[in-house]
Copies of this chain bind each other. A is one copy, B any other.
């Protein structure tokens, strides 16, 4: 078993050629004019030795890492799993690899330190990392970066999803079923996605000629959803349907409905954003709006590799958004 790693020089020796030739064969240099026979010898030698280029040397020479970074808040959140999948696929298409880090352990700053200089060609920031001094730090390091699913307050370097349209789809679904009192459990007031979903809700209600039902801030957690739904149910005129800002919150909301002795969807219909696997496993199965999360990740990597250093980007991803009807929505109880 070969212990020493094989280098270009080894391959060149076996192929009776210079290292430069091997290098140009590997990199498919179009200006290389080589006779087929020689190329064969090179390829054979590569195969025989099982040669694979040393990325450190290559990267040092070309100052390209062929690696993209993706920083997320938490691996356990299935929303990010989808984004990762897309980003990984696009990176692979470019012959690059994706290194993902999470804020579970420490902040972005410490992560960047561990990464060092020159390890990645660009960084995707999903969720909402602490923005303070972020742009500066990354720019000083000369690393292209883009925020995913979150608009920066100061910098225009992001791609987001069309949350307004997603919210509209949800509301329209409820309206089509006959609901007229549609309430909204909103996400955390700080979150950019939450703001956009709420805006979409309001716009859709207006478009349908309906009065905005109560809007209650519920956060993105089951506990928040439960508390929010409890308030909604205690209100004077109980809504017959609720648009919830995300699935986690909807889970809590559903529990609150049950606790109140009511049934879903018989007394209250519920629809939430993001079509996670989990949604299908709840009982009743949760009606959701599917967002192109994988496409978001994919687009991020693409932009990273085509963007000029100082170019800005403020893009609303144009991907398929669709309503996935399940068992948590139905026509309202007729009490007329």
Within 8 A of B (CB), among A263-313: 277-278, 281-283
Copy tally for this chain in the complex stands at: 2
For chain A, give the interface size range. Answer: 35 or more
Chain B hits for A81, CB < 8 A:
75-76, 81
Q: How far is the CB of A190 from chain B (nearest CB, A)?
A: 23
Q: How far is the CB of A133 from chain B (nearest CB, A)?
A: 12
Contact indicator B3/A119 (Cβ below 8 Å): no
Contact flags A111-131 to B (C-beta < 8 A → 1, else 0): 101111111000000000000
Contact indicator A75/B85 (Cβ below 8 Å): yes
Interface centre among A53, A97, A139 (most CB of B within 10 A): A97
Q: Which of B50, B59, B60, B78 contacts A140 (CB 8 A)?
A: B50
Q: Which of B89, B222, B278 contacts A105 (CB 8 A)?
A: B89
Contact indicator B114/A95 (Cβ below 8 Å): yes
Q: Which of B5, B76, B102, B118 contacts A56 (CB 8 A)?
A: B118
Chain B hits for A63, CB < 8 A:
56
Q: At the interface, yes or no: A84 with Cβ under 8 Å from chain B?
A: yes
Q: Which of B78, B100, B141 contacts A76 (CB 8 A)?
A: B78
Contact indicator A281/B85 (Cβ below 8 Å): no
Q: A-side binding surface: helix, strand, loop or mixed? A: mixed
- Contacts A2-B140, A81-B76, A282-B281 hold; do A88 and B116 have CB atoms under 8 A apart? no
- Contacts A57-B60, A59-B56, A251-B281 hold; do A88 and B117 have CB atoms under 8 A apart? no
Q: At the interface, yes or no: A144 with Cβ under 8 Å from chain B?
A: no
Known: A54-B117, A55-B117. 13 other contacts (CB 8 A): A1-B139, A52-B116, A54-B118, A56-B59, A75-B81, A75-B84, A84-B102, A85-B104, A88-B101, A97-B119, A99-B100, A100-B100, A282-B283
